[in-house]
């Protein structure tokens, strides 16, 4: 017998071994005959025991209650777990499906016994020492630090991506109690008793058996019995909200009042962000506040998309991972650009500019679309099937243009008694410092018919100043409630308008008159608005504006009351088109510079 047990233990030491049938006697031996001292936990239908091998290795032995045993649930879990190996899915080791004849007293206390065949059903898994996610959930004021919560969120989504795409499994009972946390705080999805396997051509089924946990069940599954991957996504959204806030409360979606819903979601997002920002600021020596705030905002936006009652509006796990990886790349790029900007500024202080400044400010877009660049930049531009690529612009061209504007401004009248402070640096440039906005600038545009510069700010303010007269033209806030960054701002000179695109949490485009006075004309939202607008571009002759948001490019016609007349096919969920520009030589074509380091050419046709 010991030789048989020894052979089994040897196989269990191999982490790559296929899950095997384990004798009941062996499981009794390693759990001290299922003693109370070996109990790790207990649920409604199971008791989990600690099984200790002679080598010291521990495994978890899940014993199903005989009187409440559902054979279908047991068979389902075994068949679905066979062959699954992923770092974010608990590893299935083996199973036991035996029966024993036992004398059962019936009815209880009668002293009469009958001989009955009792099924013994057990499942064995890798031992996870740090309990379930439920034990680690709290609000931002205590418990896990943000970096750890973010790691757990990404791990859960990675596990679900594997289950949905590689295994075609819908879990159907995803909740914190069914996500185990190991010693490295890596999440592992567990408990597949209710899971379903879809055929490759299946996307949904309808069932009368609507088992699950209220609060985590998608409405279409709970009410109509619709089973699909999107049911799990709903559960993921609730869990992410719980991880971030410590509770699973979120705004109610009013299907018949989308504006009210949007306002509630914005307020919820800002409240969560404020709580975390205060947490980061109050933490001594916390150095990554802005990086973490972006991650919190992105996670909340994703979670709110996941719990949308409209199942078709929910993202896939792959989409979610692309969004999370994308925001990490954007933060890393911003930090790199910040370092490069500091280096450029230091170099600029030792540079002498020619006395013949360029005035080709109207040809920037043309240069962007046609100017060749050095081989290093071209080498970084990846090809995209079906799309033409064009080189990126030389950065010193734009620098020369800005220097030209500054030299012109330096010979103009002195500042008025406004809040503008001007510091002249001889033979180089001019610095115009705006004191009113306290948050950093995130966007800028120059009016081609007026001597105006417009800047958009992180807290939702727009500042337009006259760079010749050096006075303020207007200073306004876009949203009455909330502070959403003005990611992009563009003048439409022929209409005497300017338009702005707001960042994550809002995703609105605002349209303003600027003559005879600044006045809001209208506002509207883009597709995937929770993730914010990245760029806007104005057509040179037609009444069109392009917007990009989360991989979607939309074309708006202001003569048709800002109707979206075309949506361009997204190449990837988070392949942000960071900048858009029409070709001035052929306005039927526009270019996009993407977060994936490609430049794409598109046709309006």
Name the residues annotated as catalytic.
173
**What's the CA gap between 221 and 26, in Å, rounded?**
40
**What's the CA gap between 485 and 491, in Å, rounded?**
18
**β-bridge partners, 59:** 51, 126
CB under 8 A, 24+ apart: contacts of 167-170: 167/80, 167/84, 167/197, 168/197, 168/198, 168/199, 168/200, 168/202, 169/80, 169/84, 169/195, 169/196, 169/197, 169/198, 170/195, 170/196, 170/197, 170/198, 170/227, 170/228, 170/229, 170/231, 170/232
**β-bridge partners, 554:** 547, 567
> What would the DSSP string read from start to end of 62-123?
EEEPSTT--HHHHHHHHHHHTT--BTTBPPEEEEEEEEEEEEEESSTTSS-EEEEEEEEEEE
**What's the CA gap between 548 and 556, in Å, rounded?**
11
8 Å CB contact between 303 and 237 = yes
Buried b / exposed e over 421-433, threshold 16 CB at 10 Å, is eeeeeeebbbebe
Q: 317-348 and 289-306 helices cross at what angle (nearest 10)?
A: 150
Question: Is residue 126 packed enough to be buried (19+ CB in 10 Å), middle (13-18) or exposed (0-12)?
Answer: middle
8 Å CB contact between 332 and 260 = no
584 token code pair:
């001035």
Question: Is residue 403 packed enough to be buried (19+ CB in 10 Å), middle (13-18) or exposed (0-12)?
Answer: buried
What residue spans of 166-257 are helical by DSSP H?
219-224, 229-245
Residues 6 or more apart whose CB falls under 8 angstroms from that of 297 comprise: 269, 273, 504, 505
- Neighbour tally for 173: CB within 10 Å: 19
**What's the CA gap between 120 and 194, in Å, rounded?**
19
Is the previous residue joined to 107 through a cis bond, with omega within 30 degrees of 0? yes
Measure the CA angle with vertex 312, ends 256 and 304; round to 5°: 70
424 token code pair:
């002249």
**β-bridge partners, 463:** 455, 475
Q: Can you tell me which residue has the tokens 């048709």?
A: 560
DSSP state of 562: S
């Amino acid at each position: 017998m010991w030789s048989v047990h020894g052979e089994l233990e040897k196989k269990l030491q191999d982490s790559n071994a296929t899950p095997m049938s384990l004798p009941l006697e062996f499981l009794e031996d390693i759990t001290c005959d299922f003693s109370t001292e070996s109990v790790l936990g207990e649920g409604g239908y199971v008791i989990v025991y600690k099984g200790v091998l002679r080598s010291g290795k521990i495994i978890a032995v899940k014993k199903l209650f005989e009187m409440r045993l559902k054979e279908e649930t047991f068979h389902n879990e075994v068949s679905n777990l066979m062959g699954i190996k992923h770092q974010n899915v608990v590893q299935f080791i083996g199973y036991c499906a035996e029966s024993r004849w036992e004398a059962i007293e019936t009815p209880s206390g009668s002293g009469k016994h009958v001989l009955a065949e009792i099924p013994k059903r057990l499942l064995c898994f890798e031992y996870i020492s740090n309990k379930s996610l439920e034990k680690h959930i709290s609000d931002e004021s205590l418990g896990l630090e943000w970096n750890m919560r973010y790691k757990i969120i990404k791990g859960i989504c990675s596990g679900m991506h594997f289950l949905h795409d590689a295994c075609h499994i819908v879990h159907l009972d995803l909740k914190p109690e069914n996500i185990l946390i190991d010693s490295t705080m890596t999440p592992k999805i567990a408990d597949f008793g209710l899971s379903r396997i879809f055929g490759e051509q299946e996307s949904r089924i309808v069932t009368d058996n609507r088992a699950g946990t209220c609060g985590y069940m998608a409405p279409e599954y709970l009410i109509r019995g619709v089973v699909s991957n999107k049911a799990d996504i709903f559960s993921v959204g609730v869990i992410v909200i719980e991880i971030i806030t410590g509770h699973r409360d979120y705004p109610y979606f009013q299907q018949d009042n989308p504006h009210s819903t949007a306002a509630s979601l914005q307020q919820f997002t800002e409240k969560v962000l404020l709580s975390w920002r205060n947490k980061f600021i109050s933490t001594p020596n916390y150095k990554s506040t802005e990086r973490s705030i972006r991650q919190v905002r992105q996670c909340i936006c994703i979670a709110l998309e996941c719990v949308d009652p409209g199942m078709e509006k929910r993202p896939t796990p792959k989409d979610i991972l692309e969004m999370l990886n994308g925001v990490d790349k954007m933060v890393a790029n911003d930090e790199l650009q910040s370092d490069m900007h500091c280096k450029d500024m230091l170099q600029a202080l030792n540079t002498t500019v020619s006395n013949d400044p360029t005035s080709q400010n109207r040809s920037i877009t043309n240069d962007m679309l046609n100017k060749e660049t050095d081989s290093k930049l071209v080498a970084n531009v990846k090809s995209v099937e079906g799309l033409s690529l064009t080189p990126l612009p030389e950065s010193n061209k734009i620098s020369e243009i800005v220097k030209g504007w500054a030299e012109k401004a330096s010979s103009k009248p002195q500042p008025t008694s406004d809040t503008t402070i001007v510091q002249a640096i001889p033979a180089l440039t001019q610095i115009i410092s705006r004191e009113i906005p306290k948050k950093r600038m995130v966007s800028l545009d120059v009016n081609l018919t007026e001597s105006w510069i417009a800047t958009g700010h992180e807290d939702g303010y727009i500042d337009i100043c006259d760079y010749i007269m050096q006075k303020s033209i207007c200073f306004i806030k876009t949203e009455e409630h909330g502070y959403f960054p003005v990611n992009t701002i563009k003048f439409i000179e022929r209409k005497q308008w300017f338009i702005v695109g707001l960042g994550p949490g809002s995703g609105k485009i605002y349209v303003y008159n600027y003559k005879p006075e600044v006045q809001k004309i209208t506002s509207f939202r883009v597709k995937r608005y929770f993730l914010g607008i990245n760029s806007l571009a104005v057509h040179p002759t037609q009444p069109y504006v392009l917007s990009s948001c989360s991989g979607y490019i939309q074309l708006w016609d202001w003569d048709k009351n800002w109707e979206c007349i075309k949506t361009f096919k997204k190449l990837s969920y988070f392949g942000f088109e960071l900048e858009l520009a029409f070709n001035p030589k052929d306005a039927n074509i526009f270019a996009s510079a993407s977060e994936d380091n490609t430049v794409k050419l598109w046709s309006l046709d």
